[in-house]
Amino acid sequence: MKLEEAVAKIEERNQRVEMDKAWEVSWTRRIIVAIFTYLTLGLYLRAINVGRPWQNAIVPTIGFLLSTLTLPWFRKIWEKVIKSNRG
């Protein structure tokens, strides 16, 4: 394999990784996950005959959404701790 081919493959991989990372932190993904979480919880609560299932599905959905919003913040703290322990 030539050096140019190897570099091209690495650049392609880097583009895929960057796109995956962009998707993971995108608002589109978060909103889609929140909608699916809400629908799943609402249907489940309705199936087990919980009163006001759609209203009761809001709190866990918001909790899940908040957890995904705070993960990057906690990751930064974790990275600082790891770096300080290694250094």
Confidence of residue 79 (pLDDT cuts 50, 70, 90): very high
Cα(69)–Cα(43) distance, integer angstroms: 24
Rounded to 5 degrees, φ, ψ at 65 are -65, -45
pLDDT at residue 48, rounded to an integer: 98
* Mean pLDDT to the nearest integer, 2-25: 93
Task: Look up residue 75 and give its amino acid.
Answer: R
d(CA 7, CA 13): 10
Rounded Cα–Cα distance for residues 49 and 41 (Å): 12
- Amino acid at the residue 85: N
Q: What is the pLDDT of residues 27-78, one digit of tens each?
A: 999 999 999 999 999 999 999 999 999 999 999 999 999 988 888 889 899 9
Residue-level pLDDT at 54: 98
Least confident of 10-14, 15-19, 63-67: 63-67
